[in-house]
Amino acid sequence: MSKFLEVIFISLCTFLFCPSIACASVDIASTNTNTTSSTQGSSEVPAGKYDWNSVMDAIIEVESGGNNRARSGSSAGPMQITPVLVRECNNILRKKNSKKRFKLSDRFSVAKSKEMFLLIQEVFNPLNSIEKAIRSWNGGVHYSVKRTQQYLNKVLEKMR
């Protein structure tokens, strides 16, 4: 019963304080740690209809505390982007016949980092699932729900 009340409370707060998020809110009831697969349901928004800024800003806060020069292992910048992600973005751009390419140094730019995030979402998250976006940013395209639960909770908390 307490989980149900928590979901109602969070939904009500989201609707009252962040109406733009409420229209595309994550199905929090299905994000418990016993879940074995990603939920899609109510967290999906038609392609091109979601403003990712609140999600990206929350990820930046969790990943680097807003420090553009942050580094951790091979990850760098405000969104802690890896060289593998930069290569994947460039592969996507190549397939789109775009002449644009990202450099490793672009990871330190908030604007370029956000561009990479949006490109990844466009290709790997065409239904704009907020939960999938957050989990995959932490755990990759084939993320583990259990291993990304704590990260999801942190990002959602920053979005409030």
pLDDT of 8-26, one tens digit each? 445 444 444 443 333 333 3
Q: Backbone phi, then psi, for 107, in 5-degree steps?
A: -65, -25
> Is the pLDDT confidence value at 54 over 90?
yes
Q: Backbone phi, then psi, for 68, in 5-degree steps?
A: -65, -25
Interval 62-106: pLDDT, tens: 999 999 999 999 999 999 999 999 999 999 999 999 999 999 999
| Per-residue model confidence (pLDDT) at position 6 | 53
- Rounded to two decimals, the pTM is 0.71
Within 10 angstroms of residue 145's Cβ, the number of other Cβ atoms is 20
| Per-residue model confidence (pLDDT) at position 14 | 43
